[in-house]
Amino acid sequence: MFGNFIIMFYCPDILHSFTLSEEESQHAVRVLRLQTGDELELVDGAGGYYKAVISNPHPKHCEFVIKETFTEFGKRDYRLHIAIAPTKNIERLEWFIEKCTEIGIDEITPVICRFSERKIIKPERLEKIIVSAAKQSLKAYFPVLNPICSFNEFIQQSTASKKFIAHCYEQDKQLLQQVYQKSSDAVILIGPEGDFSPEEVQSAIQPRFLPVSLGSSRLRTETAGIAACHTVALMNEK
């Protein structure tokens, strides 16, 4: 807690080491000027939330003592996995990842489709965005960023019970909020700017992906992904 503002620190190895990373140590000691006895709030990215106090305010390896431990902190009763085509402008994909992490998502898979304009991403950069957004939004569970894969690989390996593909073709499809059931796990496919090809839509429907609409507006890829994430999150609000 810093005044009335909670500053969260990320410590993925907290069960094995009571020391902040060099980056987090610098932020705590150099930027925030925290000292021995000051309180820390930490998450491990896997559902653990911890309250601790600083025992050694070293700017490269700040040590702490855990005072309270909370498991499954903020755990949701559903899982959401969005597979999305990387955007030509990588900043738009980064924006999608940041905002969906803030809203609440469990897995993100970049998929290469027929009309994809980008086929290479830098996962290290995207992972940093996930960590930053999760800390800012006080999440103890961080979403998993899966390796990039082809469209066909993804639809064949997906085993979720509720699977949806959002596309823009004039076909029989319902709004996502009409077919998604609260508290159920879901996988949602979001295509590139040029949409999925008709063949891709058909090949997804065969292994039980249900075609859905995200509304009457034609959305950019990253906006569609956020709209889908927010729809599911709102439907699961208590």
DSSP state of 19: B
Hey, CA dihedral for 212, 218, 220, 223, is it positive or negative? Answer: negative
Q: What is the pLDDT of residue 5?
A: 57
pTM of the predicted protein model? 0.93
- Report residue 134 CA to chain centroid gap: 8
Q: What is the pLDDT of residue 207?
A: 76
Q: What is the pLDDT of residues 200-210, one digit of tens each?
A: 999 999 878 99
Q: pLDDT below 70 — which residues of the chain? A: 1-5
If you compute the radius of gyration of the chain from its CA atoms, what whole number of angstroms results? 20
Q: What is the pLDDT of residues 21-45, one digit of tens each?
A: 999 999 999 999 999 999 999 999 9
| Structure tokens belonging to residue 77 | 């009763």
At the fourth CATH level, the homologous superfamily of domain 8-70 is Hypothetical PUA domain-like; domain 1 (2.40.240.20)
* The CA-based dihedral angle spanning residues 206, 120, 223, 140, taken in that order and rounded to the nearest 10 degrees: 90
Q: What is the pLDDT of residue 2?
A: 46
| Structure tokens belonging to residue 87 | 């955007």
Q: What is the pLDDT of residue 238?
A: 77
Q: What is the pLDDT of residue 161?
A: 81
Q: Where in the chain is the domain with CATH 2.40.240.20?
A: 8-70
Q: What is the pLDDT of residue 135?
A: 95
- Residue partners of 53: CB distance under 8 A and separation at least 6: 37, 38, 39, 40, 64, 65, 67
Q: Where in the chain is the domain with CATH 3.40.1280.10?
A: 80-235
Report how far apart, in Å, the C-alpha atoms of 106 and of each of 145, 175, 203, 227, 235 are. 9, 22, 25, 16, 16
- Report residue 166 CA to chain centroid gap: 19
Regarding the domain delimited by 80-235, which CATH topology (the fold level of the hierarchy) does it fall under? Alpha/beta knot (3.40.1280)
